[in-house]
Amino acid sequence: MSAEKETACDHAACLTRRDALLAGGGGIIAGMVAPIGAASAQRASEGVAYPRKRVVRIGELHDGVPLAFTYPLQAQPNFIVKLGAPAQGGVGPDHDIVAFSSLCTHMGGNLRGRYRHDLKAVGPCPFHFSTFDLTRGGVAVHASATQSLPQVVLEIAGDDVFAVRVAGLIYGYRHNLKDGSLAEGAKTPTMRG
């Protein structure tokens, strides 16, 4: 297996109700930022050939247990998780397997270990408390972030889950495929075989 287990969120500031995130001010933020995230995703993916990487076998995923992996470059951390509920961009028999960058879009806070299965969300970010809804393409629903969390586009082949693209610009990069080496196991289209 090329992905590794993450720890559950234990931050004292973890939110307690999904509804609290998706209502009120958070909902307003989500409405404002979705178009920005979509535009970034389009710009980041235009005219580039992403590598393909086998991330995990479907049978190795368990509801609510995120696994970490790097893609498309070595220094770009992500997580994959089976939400247990259908999600935008979700793959697998239940359309509930999704993957996202672990770097907060506000100022790059590390979101590893911040997944909340009760909310189907990741956050709060350790820096400024941003939280992202994983059922809705990683849209920011709370606090400082103004862009959606980049979503790793997944494909299924047999029992394997592959990463094939990233929708959205990863924090700290001018281009998702520049300024670094490909992640272990990632193969460009010409390297397949």
* Site for ligand FES, rule CB under 6 A: 104, 106-109, 125, 127-130, 143-145
- Look up 11 and say whether it is catalytic: no
Residue in 153, 169, 162 with CA at minimum distance from that of residue 90:
153
Among the listed residues 11, 117, 128, 142, the single catalytic one is 128
Residue 9 or 55: the one with the smaller Cβ distance to ligand FES is 9
Distance CA 43, CA 45 (A): 6
Residue type, position 7, single letter: T
Q: Which two tokens stand for residue 103?
A: 């770097």
Q: Which two tokens stand for residue 153?
A: 């586009």
Residue 58 or 107: the one with the smaller Cβ distance to ligand FES is 107
Among the listed residues 11, 62, 95, 106, the single catalytic one is 106
Q: How far is the CB of 112 from ligand FES (least distance, A)?
A: 12
> What phi, psi does 64 have (nearest 5°)?
75, 10
Q: How far is the CB of 131 from ligand FES (least distance, A)?
A: 9
164 CB contacts (<8 Å, ≥6 apart)? Answer: 50, 52, 153, 154, 155
Q: Which two tokens stand for residue 70?
A: 């790097």
- Look up 106 and say whether it is catalytic: yes
Distance CA 98, CA 138 (A): 10
Residue 8 or 13: the one with the smaller Cβ distance to ligand FES is 13
Q: How far is the CB of 34 from ligand FES (least distance, A)?
A: 18
Distance CA 169, CA 151 (A): 9
Q: How far is the CB of 110 from ligand FES (least distance, A)?
A: 9
Residue 130 or 151: the one with the smaller Cβ distance to ligand FES is 130
Q: What are the residue numbers of the active site?
A: 106, 128
